[in-house]
Chain A
Amino acid sequence: MKIKNLIGMKYKRKAFTLVELIIALAVLALLLAFIYPILFYSRTANNTITKLDVYHDVRRVDQAVFDELKLGSGVLYPPKPEKGIIGEWYPQLIFRNHLNQIIMLYVNKKNKLIIFNYDDVDGAYLSLGKILGSNIKEFVVRRQGSSVIEYRLTFEIDKRDFVIANQVTLVNVF
């Protein structure tokens, strides 16, 4: 009311002033300047975290498989390769561990890598295995001689494959 009286005319606002527009643009630019990297880094961070999760999972599964195999005392399946020949790739592995328990590694139909201990008996019941890892696209294994096992694990995450390969010499083979 003071202004109105001061300029002696009725004031009706219809648009932003130039100053207001400039300030708004500046704030918007500032916002974009902040938001864009946030969005950008957020996506990158998300990807990175996903990758780290996968790497972590891959490492964990590889280590679990390696630990089971390392002290093994024999391989039952895949069969022994022909003389002097590296065996073919097979999708299941059956071996004896350091206690001569029979252990099977396979991928089930829900893409989970399962470790199944044939001697994991509780009372009259045999447990049907536990999950070592998920999102497994492929697990293949082949033999070299009597005590060397080579395996390859392929994880599929977001249509991307992560592969880990390892070779283990069983130290307790007869």
Chain B
Amino acid sequence: MKRKGSAIATAIILGTVFFIAVSALLHYSSSEMRHIKAISAVKKAELLALSGIDWAESQLRVKRWYGTEFVPYKHNKGKHDSYGTQYLTPFGEDEGSVTIICEDVANKTPGYNMYGMQKIWFLHHINVYALGEYENQKCLVYGRYIISPEPILNSTSTEGAGFESPQYGAPGAVGVSAVKTMVNGKEVTNFVVKEIKVAEHDNVNINTVVAIVNPIDDPDRNIEVRPTTFGTVAEIKAKKGQTCRAGDNLLILSKSIDAGGTSVSMKTLKKMVRVTKIPPEIWKGLDIDLINDRFAISQYISGISDAYLQNFVAHASLEKSLKNIGDEKFDNKLSASEVLSKFPVNFTSTTRNRAENTFIAYMIKNFTAPGGTWDRKEKALDETFLKLDHERTDPPQEYLDWLDNLGLTQILNTKPRLNSKFFDPKMKNDEFMNLLHPHLNQPSSEFIANLSQLPDASRFVNIQEGDFSDESPSYVENENGIHIIDPDKGVKVDVQKITKKYTFVDPESNFAIEMTDLLSFIKKYYDDDGSLPPREETRTNEFIDWPLPAPAPEPPPPAPGGNWVWIDGKPGTPPGDPTYHHRGGTDENINPPTGGTGRYEPDMPDDLDGGSKDWEIEGSPYKDGEDGGEDSDKDSGERESVKICNCNKGNCGICNPSGEKEQFTINKNTKWDVKPGTPGKDPEQGKYVWEPSRTDPSDGSDGSPGTEGNADGGADSTDDATGGSGGTDSTPGSGIDTPPAPAPTPTPTPSTPAPSYRSGSFGF
């Protein structure tokens, strides 16, 4: 009985062991399955969030679906939401969902007197939040949709505002108008069109007289209208006999950009950048449906932007080494010391300015139009160039002879005439950087200005002969111009040096954009200083556009004996900016990511081309055969490190203090109390009034005086006032931060010019 019982017990034990083994295996398998499911859910949530970002990008390429159309000359208070929400289940109802929120962020600086608005706001960028949800997993991804030139904020558009203006039509178009003119010491702003001297499709330049206008009070005085730039006449808007005001467009020029015989067109640049997975600890407790919670997340993105920028420039030595390495391959397995020697870890600390400008310079050197194949991009990099907004123009021969006789031909030496490469410097081999030589350690606004325009690219010359014997001879030249008085030769010459813009051209992609816009676009990758996030879900108090007086409608039918004259309305007063105050909310300190703050510590902060400091490994971290670091058997929690010090000048004792990083703060659960600014005042609208002709003595019915006669005794062709030539080119609608500069007011015409003297002006 004993033996029999022993065998059964043994069998039971063995069976139990077998059962336990099988159970363990099954448990392991099910645990593995749960683990896989959990990982799968995390990945699916992430995939959903990323697909939300993709969806938003595809939508925003067309328009802001959540916006309301812009209507010029109209109030828009309380009519525009600052964000839009979309809920999608891209992979089916049971396969999770994604909530996408796009939120407009305004440019901090509004524009004035543009697009029918006295004050108008522009869109800096769009914050895109995509929350992917699958089962109990969530993933929040942020993207920044940047656009340049900037669209109008209170609109649905994602096209640059300059391209949508109904007034200017095609991208790059320029209006030509009469300008305010001084006649007999009196400012003249109303004119009658006497003659249009060009036809559609004519090519014109800055010396072409495109129209003659007469001051409405002085119909015998001819004023020449010239364009401020070269171009082709696309549309003639004015008719002979029509009244017009200074600034009204008489005709529109299209400005095609010639790239080796191909016409390249201007386009808006748009891109989703900075796609970032927001760590759960940052958005824990936040709801992206709430504007204040989105504000907290955007503060986090701004906080890590510093590291984004500084990290980019911190490893110049590695990038240099990689250039030397080229396509060389190394062993399949490397030790830590081999890695440190082949791929150096040296740091470069630099100033904020230098970091910004280095980033911008890198981006612009490697920039091609978005999209297309790899081949196209590679080919495009060989062909991109900057086009100066000024073609070589020779002054009329009579002026050349005149200057030759005066011995003043040197005043023709503009920068591009001295070195023709300034007309279209290539991006390749840094030709544009070598020519324009922007300083890396200057504020990025100046750096951008140096790369986007050329001072003294063109000149406007005014020559007067006369008796200047009571004046001292002088020759004064500065960055703005040259002023010459030569009493012996009886001549006075004023030369105005004119700055012209550059346009970036990618002929391979038929793509062009003004350099200012392109560089501003690049700056938006990391910069939030120029933006103002929304604090209202519907713009009721903030970012209110304010209309200008409506433009002149068609005048009443013409009648003999006078003209209908449009009297301008008066602009109103835009509402004052609202003020916001925090209510509630808690500040949360966030540790910055590695890199960033703390590395701005240059050797030569005042050196315009310097301002950097290099740090390298102190001594050799390992001896041969004693590799440490990850080669040791320590686990990943006990990683080895090397000391980074400034050894290049023999002062190894000074070590990189980049660990001293300042935390940044985000504010959670803030409520905003708004205090509206001062209420705005509507503009006063203009109107037509009948003004009898003063040259017609029979028309005295309204008691106006009869003809004043021809006070100047008749103006001949040599003493015509000149309107609209020279000056920095203005392309209305394309400037956003600064309104376009008006063309300079021409020199007043002498009231009694000596007939024996000549005078004249020209540009080149």
Within 8 A of B (CB), among A104-130: 104, 106-112, 114, 116-130
The interface stretch among A5-13, A91-99, A155-163 is A91-99
B377 at the interface (CB under 8 A from A): yes
Among B14, B24, B628, which residue has its beta carbon within 8 angstroms of that of A38? B14
Knowing A121-B656, A128-B639, A146-B377, the reply to whether A104 touches B343 (Cβ < 8 A) is yes
Mark interface residues in B487-498 (1 if CB within 8 Å of A CB, else 0). Answer: 000000000000
Closest to B271 in A: A174
A171 at the interface (CB under 8 A from B): yes
A153 at the interface (CB under 8 A from B): no
Mark interface residues in B26-43 (1 if CB within 8 Å of A CB, else 0). Answer: 001100100110010001
A63 at the interface (CB under 8 A from B): yes
The interface stretch among B105-113, B401-409, B536-544, B641-649 is B641-649
Verify B374–A34 contact, CB threshold 8 A.
Answer: no
Among B15, B36, B276, which residue has its beta carbon within 8 angstroms of that of A98? B276
Knowing A52-B29, A76-B322, A108-B333, the reply to whether A124 touches B378 (Cβ < 8 A) is no
Verify B345–A118 contact, CB threshold 8 A.
Answer: yes
Q: How many B residues are at the interface, by size bracket?
A: 35 or more
B93 at the interface (CB under 8 A from A): no
Verify A124–B639 contact, CB threshold 8 A.
Answer: no
Within 8 A of A (CB), among B415-457: none
Question: Within 8 Å CB of B642, what residues of A?
Answer: 125-126, 128
Mark interface residues in B658-694 (1 if CB within 8 Å of A CB, else 0). Answer: 1110000000000000000000000000000000000
Among B15, B275, B630, which residue has its beta carbon within 8 angstroms of that of A114? B630
Q: How many A residues are at the interface, by size bracket?
A: 35 or more
Verify A124–B4 contact, CB threshold 8 A.
Answer: no
Among A92, A144, A172, which residue has its beta carbon within 8 angstroms of that of B330? A92
Verify B630–A112 contact, CB threshold 8 A.
Answer: yes
Separation of A45 and B201 alpha carbons in the complex (Å): 84
B339 at the interface (CB under 8 A from A): yes
Verify A108–B29 contact, CB threshold 8 A.
Answer: no
Question: Within 8 Å CB of A49, what residues of B?
Answer: 25, 28
Verify B332–A91 contact, CB threshold 8 A.
Answer: yes
A30 at the interface (CB under 8 A from B): yes
A138 at the interface (CB under 8 A from B): yes
Central interface residue in B4, B309, B333, B639, by most chain A CB within 10 Å: B333
Question: Within 8 Å CB of B727, what residues of A?
Answer: none
Question: Within 8 Å CB of A92, what residues of B?
Answer: 330, 334, 343
Verify B11–A76 contact, CB threshold 8 A.
Answer: no
B199 at the interface (CB under 8 A from A): no
Q: In whole Å, how far is A136's beta carbon from the nearest beta carbon of chain B? A: 9
Knowing A107-B333, A119-B594, A125-B642, the reply to whether A171 touches B275 (Cβ < 8 A) is yes
Question: Within 8 Å CB of A101, what residues of B?
Answer: 307, 311, 593-595
Total A-B Cβ pairs within 8 A: 213
Question: Within 8 Å CB of B741, what residues of A?
Answer: none
Question: Within 8 Å CB of B644, what residues of A?
Answer: 121, 124-126
Q: In whole Å, how far is A101's beta carbon from the nearest beta carbon of chain B? A: 5
Closest to A70 in B: B50
Verify B343–A94 contact, CB threshold 8 A.
Answer: yes
B483 at the interface (CB under 8 A from A): no
Verify A131–B594 contact, CB threshold 8 A.
Answer: no
Verify B335–A99 contact, CB threshold 8 A.
Answer: no
Question: Within 8 Å CB of B7, what residues of A?
Answer: 23, 27, 30-31
Verify B339–A106 contact, CB threshold 8 A.
Answer: yes
Question: Within 8 Å CB of B39, what residues of A?
Answer: 59, 63
Verify A124–B3 contact, CB threshold 8 A.
Answer: no
Separation of A123 and B336 alpha carbons in the complex (Å): 20
Verify B641–A41 contact, CB threshold 8 A.
Answer: no
Among B25, B311, B631, which residue has its beta carbon within 8 angstroms of that of A102? B311
Verify B657–A124 contact, CB threshold 8 A.
Answer: yes
B588 at the interface (CB under 8 A from A): no
Verify B657–A106 contact, CB threshold 8 A.
Answer: no
B69 at the interface (CB under 8 A from A): no
B10 at the interface (CB under 8 A from A): yes
Separation of A116 and B39 alpha carbons in the complex (Å): 24
Verify A41–B630 contact, CB threshold 8 A.
Answer: no
Verify B339–A104 contact, CB threshold 8 A.
Answer: yes
Question: Within 8 Å CB of A98, what residues of B?
Answer: 274-277, 308
Q: In whole Å, how far is B143's beta carbon from the nearest beta carbon of chain A? A: 9
Within 8 A of B (CB), among A24-44: 27, 30-31, 34-35, 37-38, 41-42
Q: In whole Å, how far is B252's beta carbon from the nearest beta carbon of chain A? A: 36
Separation of A49 and B32 alpha carbons in the complex (Å): 10
Knowing A84-B375, A119-B594, A129-B630, the reply to whether A91 touches B330 (Cβ < 8 A) is yes
Verify A108–B631 contact, CB threshold 8 A.
Answer: yes
Separation of A79 and B630 alpha carbons in the complex (Å): 26
Separation of A112 and B17 alpha carbons in the complex (Å): 37
A100 at the interface (CB under 8 A from B): yes
Among B314, B335, B639, which residue has its beta carbon within 8 angstroms of that of A127? B639
Separation of A144 and B377 alpha carbons in the complex (Å): 13
A/B interface sample: 16 pairs, CB < 8 A: A41-B25, A84-B374, A91-B329, A91-B332, A109-B334, A112-B630, A116-B630, A124-B658, A125-B644, A128-B621, A128-B628, A138-B332, A146-B374, A146-B377, A171-B53, A174-B366
Q: Give residues in A with beta carbon < 8 Å to B.
A: 20, 23, 27, 30-31, 34-35, 37-38, 41-42, 45, 48-49, 52, 56, 59, 63, 70-71, 76-79, 83-84, 88, 90-92, 94, 96, 98-102, 104, 106-112, 114, 116-131, 138-139, 144-146, 171-172, 174
A-B contacts besides A109-B627, A124-B645, 10 pairs, CB < 8 Å: A34-B11, A104-B339, A108-B631, A118-B345, A120-B594, A121-B656, A125-B644, A127-B641, A145-B373, A172-B274
Q: Give residues in B with beta carbon < 8 Å to A.
A: 3-4, 7, 10-11, 14-15, 17-18, 21-22, 24-25, 28-29, 32, 35-36, 39, 43, 50, 53, 273-277, 304, 307-309, 311-312, 314-315, 318-319, 322, 325-327, 329-336, 339, 343, 345, 347, 363, 366, 373-375, 377-379, 593-595, 617, 621, 627-631, 633, 635-636, 639-645, 655-660
